[in-house]
A and B are shown apart, each in its own frame.
Chain A
Amino acid sequence: MNGAAVTEPATTPDLIAAHGLSEAEYRRAQEVLGRDPNLTELGIFSVMWSEHCSYKSSKKWLKTLPTEAPWVICGPGENAGVIDIGDGQAAVFKMESHNHPSFIEPYQGAATGVGGILRDVFTMGARPVANLSCLRFGHPDHPRTRHLVAGVVAGIGGYGNCVGVPTVGGECTFHESYNGNILVNAMTVGLADADRIFYSTAAGAGNPLVYVGSKTGRDGIHGATMASAEFDETAEERRPTVQVGDPFTEKLLLEACLELMATDAIVAIQDMGAAGLTSSSFEMAGKGGMGVELDLDHVPQRETGMSPYEIMLSESQERMLMVLQRGREDEARRIFEKWELDFAVVGKLTDTGRMVVRMNGEVAADLPIAPLANASPEYDRPWATTAPPEQIPADSMNAPETKDFEGVMDVLQRLLASPDLASKRWVWDQYDHLVMGRTVQRPGGDAAVVRVPGSRKALALSADCTPRYCAAFPRTGGAQAVAESWRNLTAAGARPLAITDCMNFGSPERPEIMGQFVECIEGMRKACLALDFPVVSGNVSFYNETNGAAIQPTPAIGAVGVIDDIESMATIALKGDGNALVLIGECRGHLGASLYLREIAGRSDGAPPPVDLEAERRNGDFVRLQIFDGRVVSCHDVSDGGLLVAAAEMALASATPTGNMLGALLHLEDDLPLHALAFGEDQGRYVLEVDQSEVDALMAAADAVGVPVRRIGRCGGTALTVNGEQTISLFVLRRDHEGWLPSYMAG
């Protein structure tokens, strides 16, 4: 498709279909224009109305999410969300998917995913201070999985390490539903002065439109439409539509933009992400009700002979579009020249409301902006509800289910070495998680924590989702993803403030998938409301399917909270021999959709654990207060794998640099069968390590506010022991827990 004006092909139904537009959408494009679009215009309609850019299937439902709170400075709709963290400072953050490119070309796909989300954050005037990533791969035995893990991890590290932003946390799990469609969700968190946030609303007819960063090439053309289509066997052929990243240029662009942002020369700024120059110019002008005259002859180009179509749709990386105050061009140019980046005035704002694109003295496109930017199609797609799965009573299963296991410690050993629970050290060792020198909780805990420079404060960060719960019952799964994120921050002693959501689903054109989306959102909405935890930014990735088989619904939640004084931060590592272990929250032995069921019993049925949002809030607020009051020595939330796994993770985290570890002696006695108590995944629970002298006061305080609390044992030894009879060495557990991923990757 070389579409120079002279060789333009006829607008056939095939060409329209190749651009991902439905017949109805094409008719609407004709109505908007009052004529047939030319090829460049067809390309512009195609990307602007793609699912990726227009949110046409999701808008109706996204609108139902709570987005406001007194501390929200900017909610969804900008490049990233902004929240007030006190002292005149703001946290700016977003999570975004780069799934399709990462499956086709894992290194570059993942790297440019990181690059794109970094730009979303520094576009708003924030210095990025942390990256996180949520990775979902196919089954470990699938022939492509190892290659994809290696490439994605190297790509995330390769980009973030070079730019110099620490990658401090996230998730990495495996499931066969991702065999043909992995998920790479990247999150960036930045810091800015609350009164120095930059937005993308263009203003001021006559103000220059300025292009900065890398030159434009033919890479990534139609990435946005690729991200809006299903995969089949021909996915490989789409490799040319994957962009190539250059983190060095990104670092220069970051420094140059922040330097210019210290002046007041910028009116509006937008990064060129999906659909490049097209979406950045349309979005900026659309938000301001402005028109644009764009002269493509001035766009810095890496290749010769590029057509207007290619320039408008290129997704070359590390580029930004800005509207400057008229007359400030030279001042801005000097900064970009200092950083050895291209700087070009490529057009100006007008008050016509139209986008007029010229090249070689000819008009290449002439389109009204509002219908493309603000009035894209909006669908109320049919959706089907997911029937509630059967509950699995705790006592309906024999423990353990198979003869391979002699008791709970055998099960624990197997679970901790299972792909989802095994240590991900092999991954984060390849990420520079320490650059900037402010990382005070490294990967592997409940939340990552980075200090806010010049203060006692720190940001607590988490990226989380439990797709098997969402697959079993989306309403519960959606609520659980939000609740667990809130719990992760709480367990570090942080005040949870807001979330970003990265919604990964199959095709919205199938009612059962659309239903998963609708019902996950409904669960999320309830949890956000109950926990005062608004959504301030997000991204939707549909069409995550291959040959009609969809991924598990995966609404990844990126969460940000504040610790007011790092002295009161909690970590998960056990610390003191003899200290008491206390469980907060109620045990019901819920095994439906649990890891125990999947990894040990080989079943994946059953309802996910119910999420009681009132109890969640009450228990979490109590735990946070106890941490704040200094009564808590260490704290871990109970999630995947249940109580015994949580206790084991705390003991393993106690490892000192010289290799010593602190174990625990647990008393798990209840009416429930032991395996259900040990591995049930009931929500709203935390394990606390408490000095013996503080236990009575803590338990009394819990009783007083109706928070379930019980002693479950004490710290001691170098093994984990349950009820005085079943025991396992921490050194054995560590060997298996740390060993799985390196040995898998070496295989």
Chain B
Amino acid sequence: MRAAVVTFPGSNRDVDVIDALIAVSGQRPGIVWHRDVELPDVDLIVLPGGFSYGDYLRSGAMAARSPILREVSARAEAGVAVLGICNGFQILTEVGLLPGVLMANRNLKFVCRDIHLKVERADTPFTGRYEAGQVIRVPVAHHDGNYFSDADTLARIESEGRVAFRYCTPEGHVEDEINPNGSINGIAGVYNEARNVLGLMPHPEDHVDGAQGCSDGRPMFESLIEHLA
């Protein structure tokens, strides 16, 4: 699998996902600077977490207008797998590759802790190594992770099975009390229509090695390698 990680001024979980890709695939991904206008020939494009452009204006809004995003969009439309994590998810919604918006957490505080996610389906390039309905534990670390969309869009993504993950209890119940940010329907991640683009707020890249406390994020990268090999 050939992967590229796109970095913006203010990206800071680029290191985490690069380390995770190396740990799982044994290969170092290419690193593409936000001002570049061309992407190498890759199977996976990652938009990492962080505070691109300091989150000024609106999280992800300025990065969505950087030159490289035109190329990312073109590749996404051509079917290349695109993974946007945290700030990367915010950028994907800002650029219109994914529906909805990410608002400030409902308690208006940054939140960093492990949460549980219910894997909605296991037939995508990102989730083949999980079981549908499986509960995994990964951390969140964000201030603006409160997913929202208008009722029509929400109905559409729900009916099209485009919700990737939902915040849940350790037993797999989607309940409002354990929702860390107020996301509608407990949504933690969504796919595009073709399911080759995934955006999610939690950080599977920080749970790939037992020394990190858990390795539930690892199968996501293994799924990608298996699917894209």
Whether both chains belong to one complex is answered with yes
Residues of A with Cβ closer than 8 Å to B?
A: 154, 157-158, 161-164, 246-249, 251-252, 339-340, 428-437, 439-440, 442, 451, 453, 566, 657-659
CA–CA, A157 and B113, complex, Å: 14
**Which 3 residue pairs spanning A and B have beta carbons closest together?**
A164-B12, A248-B54, A437-B16
Known: A429-B111, A430-B110. A248 touches B12 (CB 8 A): no
In the assembled complex, B51 has its CB within 8 A of some CB on chain A: yes
Task: Contacts A248-B55, A436-B16, A437-B208 known; list 15 others, CB within 8 Å.
Answer: A162-B12, A162-B51, A162-B55, A164-B13, A248-B9, A248-B53, A340-B9, A429-B109, A429-B112, A429-B113, A430-B110, A431-B112, A435-B13, A435-B16, A437-B205
**Is B51 touching A566 in the complex (CB atoms < 8 A)?**
no
- Could you say which residues of chain B place their CB within 8 Å of the CB of A154? 109-110
Contact of A251 among B12, B19, B56, B113 (CB under 8 A): B12
- Selected from B9, B110, B137, B143, the residue in CB contact (under 8 A) with A657 is B137
Task: Name 24 interchain pairs, CB-CB below 8 A, sorted by A.
Answer: A154-B109, A158-B110, A161-B112, A162-B12, A163-B12, A164-B13, A246-B54, A247-B51, A248-B51, A248-B53, A248-B56, A252-B10, A339-B9, A428-B112, A430-B111, A431-B112, A432-B110, A434-B112, A434-B212, A435-B206, A440-B211, A440-B213, A442-B213, A658-B170
Within the complex, the shortest CB–CB distance from A568 to chain B, in Å, comes to 12
- B window 145-173: CB within 8 A of A: 170-171
Task: List the A residue with the shortest CB-CB distance to B108.
Answer: A154
A162-B55, A164-B50, A431-B112 given as contacts; is B15 within 8 A of A436 (CB)? yes
Q: Does B118 contact A (CB under 8 A)?
A: no
Q: Mark B108-122, 1 if CB is under 8 A from A, else 0.
A: 011111101000000
Shortest CB distance A259–B (Å): 12
Among A251, A430, A435, the residue within 8 A (CB) of B10 is A251
* Distance from A213 Cβ to chain B, minimum over Cβ atoms (Å): 14
Contact A435 B170 (CB under 8 A): no
Q: Is the CB of B109 within 8 A of A434?
A: no
Shortest C-beta distance, A17 to chain B (Å), equals 41
- How far does the alpha carbon of A453 sit from the alpha carbon of B19 in the complex, in Å? 9
- For B1-27 the 0/1 string (1 means CB < 8 A from A) is 000000001101101100110000000
A437/B111 in contact, CB under 8 A? no
Q: Across the interface, which residues of A come within 8 angstroms of B80, CB to CB?
A: none
Residue numbers in A under 8 Å from B218 (CB-CB): none
* B residues whose Cβ falls under 8 Å from a Cβ of A: 9-10, 12-13, 15-16, 19-20, 49-51, 53-56, 109-114, 116, 137, 139, 141, 143, 170-171, 203, 205-206, 208, 211-214
Report chain A residues within 8 Å CB of B54: 162, 246-249
Whole-angstrom distance between the alpha carbons of A246 and B112 in the complex? Answer: 21
Compute how far the CA of A157 lies from the CA of B105 in the bound complex, rounded to whole angstroms.
15
| A98 to B95 CA separation, bound complex (whole angstroms) | 40
Q: How many angstroms between the C-alpha atoms of A249 and B12 in the bound complex?
A: 13
Closest to B137 in A: A657
Residues of B within 8 A of A429 (CB): 109, 111-113
How far, in whole Å, are A247 and B51 apart by their CA atoms in the complex?
Answer: 10
| Contact of A440 with B212 in the complex, beta carbons under 8 Å | yes
Contacts of B56 in A (CB 8 A): 248
Q: B112 touches which one: A433, A437, A440, A658 (CB < 8 A)? A: A433
User: Which one of B19, B112, B137, B141 has the greatest number of beta carbons of chain A within 10 Å?
Assistant: B112
Q: Secondary structure of the B side of the interface?
A: mixed
CB atoms of A430 and B109 under 8 A apart: yes
From B53, B113, B206, B211, contact of A451 by CB (8 A):
B211
**CA separation between A431 and B171, bound complex, in Å?**
27
**Chain B neighbourhood of A435, CB < 8 A:** 12-13, 16, 49, 141, 206
A429 to B110 Cα, complex, angstroms: 7
Of A162, A164, A252, A439, the residue contacting B212 (CB under 8 A) is A439
Assembly CA distance A429 to B181 (angstroms): 13
Kindly list chain B residues whose C-beta atoms are within 8 Å of the C-beta of A432.
110, 112, 141
How many angstroms from the CA of A247 to the CA of B12 in the assembled complex?
Answer: 12
**Alpha-carbon separation in the docked complex, A432 to B9 (Å):** 19
Q: Smallest CB–CB gap between B62 and chain A, Å?
A: 11
- B51: chain A residues at CB < 8 Å are 161-162, 164, 247-248, 251
Smallest distance from the beta carbon of B40 to chain A beta carbons, Å? Answer: 20
B143 vs chain A, min Cβ distance (A)? 8
The CA of A161 and the CA of B116, in the complex, are separated in Å by: 22
Task: Report Cα–Cα, A437/B203, bound state, in Å.
Answer: 10
Taking each of B55, B110, B137, B143, which has the highest tally of chain A beta carbons within 10 Å of its own beta carbon? B110
Once the chains are docked, how many angstroms separate the CA of A257 from the CA of B118? Answer: 42
Distance in Å: Cβ of A336 to nearest Cβ of chain B: 12
* B139 cross-chain contacts in A, Cβ below 8 A: 434
Q: Given A247-B54, A248-B53, A430-B111, are A437 and B12 also a contact pair (CB < 8 Å)? A: no
A431 nearest in chain B by CB position: B112
Cα of A659 to Cα of B114 in the assembled complex, Å: 13
Inside 8 A of B214's CB, which chain A residues have their CB? Answer: 657
A161 contacts B141, C-beta separation under 8 Å: yes
Query: Which residues in B have their C-beta under 8 angstroms from that of A439?
Result: 212
Interface contact B9-A252, CB-CB below 8 Å: yes
CA gap between A430 and B112 in the complex, in Å: 6
Q: Are B12 and A659 in contact (CB under 8 A)?
A: no
Residues of B within 8 A of A659 (CB): 170
Whole-angstrom distance between the alpha carbons of A658 and B112 in the complex?
A: 18
Contact partners of A164 in chain B: CB under 8 A? 12-13, 50-51
CA–CA, A53 and B114, complex, Å: 42
Query: In angstroms, how far is the closest chain A Cβ from the Cβ of B109?
Result: 5
Contacts of B55 in A (CB 8 A): 162, 248
- Chain B residues with CB under 8 A of A430: 109-112
A436 and B139 CA atoms in complex are apart in Å by: 13
Q: Determine the distance from Cα of A162 to Cα of B20 in the docked complex, in whole angstroms.
A: 21
Nearest Cβ in chain B — how far from A128, in angstroms? 11
Contacts of A440 in B (CB 8 A): 211-213
Q: Are B170 and A437 in contact, CB atoms less than 8 angstroms apart?
A: no
Which residue of chain A is the closest to B114 with respect to CB atoms? A657
B197 to chain A, nearest CB (A): 23
A117 to chain B, nearest CB (A): 18
Q: Are A437 and B116 in contact (CB under 8 A)?
A: no
Contact of B110 among A157, A451, A566 (CB under 8 A): A157
Question: Considering only CB atoms, which chain A residue lies closest to B11 in the complex?
Answer: A164
A451 to B114, CA, bound (A): 19
Quick check: B53 and A437 within 8 Å, CB to CB?
A: no
Q: Select from chain B the residue with minimum beta-carbon distance to A659.
A: B170
Q: Tell whether, in the assembled complex, residue B20 and residue A437 are in contact, meaning their CB atoms are under 8 Å apart.
A: yes
Bound CA–CA A439/B214 (angstroms)? 12
Which single residue of chain A is at the shortest CB-CB distance from B210? A440
Task: Give bound CA distance, A161 to B214, whole Å.
Answer: 22
Docked pose: A162 CA to B15 CA in angstroms: 14
